[in-house]
Amino acid sequence: MGCDIHCYAERRNGKKFAKVKCDAFGDRSYGTFGFLADVRNYSDVPPIAERRGFPNDASSGVLGSYQGWGSDAHSPSWLRVDELEAFDYDRPVEDRRVTRQTSWGLDGGCTAEAGGGKMTTYREFLGEWFFKDIAKLREAGADRIVFWFDN
């Protein structure tokens, strides 16, 4: 069974947040999920931050979407756009995701022992589209993203 992200952009309007129309981080990428929230982190990359839970000050539109998922929603968190922009993506990181032969076939969701992966940078690991999504957030005037997962 796969895992998907539900990601919403918000802009601060005074003391409240409002939902912003912006399609970012909607694709299924377990590398990105691991980096954003330590979800399906087969690569064992250190996430940008610990999961923070669902924000108490989320906009009503985002809150309604989250509540609509009920118990199927898991691992909620949020990140500021400036956090995403400020991270040092040229830092080296070991991508430990490997494919192994199992009794039922190949399994691409395995994690190698430390030192058994591929050294790369976060920039290479996350890929070009990740940075295009950050640019979309900035263009939309978003201040943060609120997200959770289902599977």
For 118-130, the pLDDT digits (tens) are 999 999 999 999 9
pLDDT score at 128 = 97
Cα separation, 4 vs 151, whole angstroms: 6
Tell me the whole-structure pTM to 2 decimals.
0.92
Cα separation, 105 vs 150, whole angstroms: 25
Cα separation, 109 vs 78, whole angstroms: 25
Taking only the tens place, the pLDDT of each residue in 56-84 is 999 999 999 999 999 999 999 999 999 99
3-state secondary structure labels for all residues of the chain: CCCEEEEEEEEEECCEEEEECCCCCCCCCHHHHHHHHCCCCCCCCCCCCCCCCCCCCCCHHHHHHHHHHHHHCEEEEEEEHHHHHHCCCCCEEEECEEEEEECCEEEEEEECCCCCCEEEEHHHHHCHHHHHHHHHHHHCCCCEEEEEEEC
Domain count, the chain: 1
Cα separation, 91 vs 119, whole angstroms: 10
CA dist list (Å): 89 to 30, 40, 56, 68, 148: 17, 20, 29, 34, 23
Q: Kindly report the backbone phi and psi dihedral angles of residue 95, in degrees, each rounded to the nearest multiple of 5, phi listed first.
A: -90, 105
pLDDT at 101 over 90: no
What average pLDDT does the chain have? 95
By residue range, what is the domain housing residue 44?
4-150
